[in-house]
Structure 1
């Protein structure tokens, strides 16, 4: 099972660069669920954006004005069901094919330290009565170790003592990560820039015994002030070849449709049924090649941005200046806006609700 979680800081703008980046991430992996924080819009309006990617089950907490908002979407085969929700977390019950039941807690910690404590205590009450293993994922808004923060200011980390005692008291274990260390940046320049690791995953001891190879991947911080996070459980490794699935967006692309017409229009010799079979085979291979080439064209640019962003972050953290990171992050936003405009102009069916 794989999931994508991101404090995206807003889906309320039709030309937001966040949306093309999300669609690129979803298109690159076969995610079973996606959790978005600070959507800044009504939950019901988010589903149409990602329906074509298979997230047919969904739940959300509406934003209040232009702040807050949570949304989670999952595929039917993920076998998830809603247990409870509030403005700070959503809890899903997950049923695996082998009969294992466990909880996925999608968490959003209060930005202010004095408001985080009541939320953590509320979650602790639930954990005390929890009968199954559980995993808590995403934005805790809390640094718990000095090595997880880079800032010119020195001194004790506010809230760290309580947060660490809360983890110990509830026997929570940090899930290992790979990728850039830091998941949040205040996006200021020079000595005012701050990096922190506040997006993470914590598992109960019994959950780790079922998912010993689980891990999370930090993408570089971009567009939002948070990094997208990939959650990978890796319960069972499947080396079998998975059938290729055509994304819905290809069917709205005139270039793809023209390839289909051309492939179908070629002359074949034989019985009617044989001719139809040959045409279907040719169309399938033509569309598959076109879709893969097109995806590689778009994804290649996103991958290049990620590599350069990570390089820029490392230079900034090492004190070599933040010019590269700032420049590449601006390029990402410009490219994402161009992608957004492209699809709005080319798509026959509008894929976003204004």
Structure 2
């Protein structure tokens, strides 16, 4: 959550804290989104969004179903209540903590039919259609091996028919997350645009965690005689910057790209390992992804003007040593 808040593209936030390791809701949006908060609780956020240009209005509800089975009926009562509040196209997604059929479960005992039936009834009452998904069939795992492993599709996205009339090609992707036993759900209507912006050299804080960084700087600095003139210092700084940029591209690599590649590998492993026999390899891959997440968080902290002073320009002393 913190790493997303560092990004300047999401300056607006409504967050509701978790209780222990469960629950917690957050909604972040950019300044160009016309959004009005209607209601919220520990288990839902209800907003109305007006599309710029054509004025199309629709509802978004993020829902967290009660994790306790005996309280889950309260979640369905909440959905029923929200259904009668506004007559707008409706999109709803979240962790419902329930499945619609036994096809959405692997391992352990059979699910109670009445338990699943209550969920089915409120889905029909709201006029929801499931958006489907790409990726692993299950969005939650108890992280155990072999016969003790349980897999469930607890996270999903629904929408009403009139919402589909405006958003023609929505896609839901299940992304395996290294730091959670839940998948991340990404929902898009159009592929995101790609922008390649040329950026100036900037010393990255994550570099000082690597021993070879000092060697790169020393080699570049010692490759010519150091001049006491400002011109000589500037020349050596330029040489160091060039050497570090090449080293970063060819050795360190793109952290985000590495993260995406390893997460795809993790997703593939998870889909293939229904019996839990590769859990050790999966956990090793999770640790590698977590290391990349730490590096990415450092990158975003450094780029955040709000947090720059807290991090301090730690490269100054190191770079000129």
Q: Give the TM-score normalised by the residue count of structure 1.
A: 0.66
Matches within 5 A, 1:124-273: 124-154=80-110, 156=112, 159-234=115-190, 244=197, 253=204
CA-CA distance at 1:317 after TM superposition: 0.9
- The partner residue of 1:70 within 12, 20, 25 is 25
Instruction: Specify the SS of the correspondent of 2:178.
Output: coil
Instruction: Specify the SS of the correspondent of 2:267.
Output: helix
CA-CA distance at 1:200 after TM superposition: 0.5
More relative contact order, 1 or 2 (CA 8 Å, 6+ apart): 1
The runs of 5 or more residues in structure 2 that have no matched partner are 208-216, 218-230, 236-241, 312-321
CA-CA distance at 1:102 after TM superposition: 0.5
The runs of 5 or more residues in structure 1 that have no matched partner are 1-10, 12-18, 24-48, 267-285
Question: 1 CA distance for matches of 2:294 and 2:124?
Answer: 44
Instruction: Specify the SS of the correspondent of 2:273.
Output: helix
State the Cα deviation string for residues 218-266 of structure 1 (Å, max 9, x = none): 10142111111111133xx798x8684979xx9784799x9xxx9xx79
Q: Which residue of 1 aligns with 2:271?
A: 314
Name the CA shift for 1:51/1:81 in 2 (closer, same or farther; >3 Å). farther
CA-CA distance at 1:156 after TM superposition: 3.9
2:90–2:160 Cα contact (<8 Å) kept: yes
1:330 aligns with 2:291: no
Q: Which residue of 2 aligns with 1:54?
A: 9
Q: Which residue of 1 aligns with 2:61?
A: 105
Which has the greater radius of gyration? 2
Instruction: Specify the SS of the correspondent of 1:159.
Output: helix
CA-CA distance at 1:69 after TM superposition: 2.7
1:90 aligns with 2:45: yes
State the Cα deviation string for residues 119-149 of structure 1 (Å, max 9, x = none): 2212212212322111001111111122211
How many residues are paired up? 273
